Amino acid sequence: MITIKLKCDKAIREKLQSFGLEKRRVENYLQYLTNNLINTRKWQYYELRVRPSDSLGSEYFWGEDTIHVAVKSPFRTKKERKIYFLTSLVHEYRHWVQSQIQNISESKIAYTNQDVAEMNEKYTENPLEKQCAEWERLTESVAHII
- How do the domains of the chain map onto residue ranges? 2-145
Instruction: Give the distance from CA 64 to its chain's centroid.
Output: 14
Cβ atoms of 90 and 136 closer than 8 Å:
yes
- Three-state secondary-structure class, residue 56: coil
Whether pTM exceeds 0.75: yes
Cβ atoms of 30 and 90 closer than 8 Å:
yes
Would you give per-residue pLDDT tens digits along the chain (146 residues)? 999 999 999 999 999 999 999 999 999 999 999 999 998 889 999 999 999 998 888 999 999 999 999 998 888 999 999 999 999 999 999 999 999 999 999 888 888 778 777 888 888 888 998 999 999 999 999 988 88
